[in-house]
Amino acid sequence: MSATGAAVAAPTRPAPLTSFLALYRLLLRAQITVPRLLGIAALGAIAVLIGVFARWHDDPAQAATDAVSSFGLGILVPLATLWLGTSAIGDLVEDRLLVYLWLKPVARWQLPAAAVLATVTVVVPLTALPLAASAVAAGASDVAMAALLAAALAALAYAGLFVAAGLWFRRAVWWGLAFVLLWENVVAYAAAGAARFTVIGWASSILGLAPDVEVTLDAGSAGAAFVVLPAIAVAGWLIATWRYRRNDID
């Protein structure tokens, strides 16, 4: 007879997929709040509006590419991912809820991985789709697929970094904001080669896949970007896992 009076089986370690999905669903549920969705959707709407105005530009494809690079990859994607990524685990730390998840026979890598996936699940549709729509609205359909890929991979990379930041820093949003504004939007443009050390630089490289457009910020080949951006996400996830494993839980 169990303590609860139920005929429960003796606890075993849960199947990795079962526990991962449970964590993913929990974090996704916490991520999806009306203010967040409205805030990010409003930024996405601005991107589409910029695309509409780009239609009247002499070179709509170039204008759409510049808009996706500067507003989409420089503002929309990082800010949306910052908002959700830092809060994915950061809110659990802040609200002292991590104790309920830590004290379970679940591999430590699962929570950060679920946080990255939950963040990407919300951010990609809310940012990549409006950016692709922005290109279409500008009459530059060729840019749309590149914008979609660039935004999705940038969101993945930022998600890894910001989930780790949420575990690392108390006020991760402010640290992240400084990173986005100063590093990603100032340092990336400051010197030749600096773009290689930024997410926006590599994401912009993917925009080069679109025909007949020039990319202002170019960290390297688009092919390399497909490796570097997921690698940044993996690095962020590993750092978050390491931190989660080592930290005292409050």
Helices (H) and strands (E) in the chain, counts: 11, 0
Distance in Å from the first CA to the final CA of the chain = 33
Radius of gyration of the chain (CA): 20
CB of 17 to other proteins, least distance (A): 12
Asked if 13 is part of the footprint of other proteins (rule: CB under 8 A), the reply reads yes
Asked if 118 is part of the footprint of other proteins (rule: CB under 8 A), the reply reads no
CA atoms in the 13 A half-sphere facing the CB of 17: 0
Torsion 237-243-245-250 (CA) sign: negative
Region near other proteins per CB under 8 A, out of 39-47, 102-110, 179-187, 208-216 = 102-110
Q: Which is nearer to other proteins, 58 or 250 (CB)?
A: 250
Q: Count the neighbouring beta carbons within 10 Å of the beta carbon of residue 75.
A: 18
Asked if 96 is part of the footprint of other proteins (rule: CB under 8 A), the reply reads yes
Distance CA(65)–CA(84), nearest Å, equals 26
Asked if 5 is part of the footprint of other proteins (rule: CB under 8 A), the reply reads yes
How many amino acids of this chain bind other proteins (CB under 8 A)? 37
Asked if 249 is part of the footprint of other proteins (rule: CB under 8 A), the reply reads yes
CB of 97 to other proteins, least distance (A): 6
Asked if 114 is part of the footprint of other proteins (rule: CB under 8 A), the reply reads no
Distance CA(41)–CA(114), nearest Å, equals 23
Among 41, 46, 49, 107, binds other proteins (CB under 8 A): 107
Residues at the site binding other proteins, with contacts judged by CB under 8 A: 2-15, 18-19, 22-23, 26, 29-30, 95-97, 99-108, 248-250
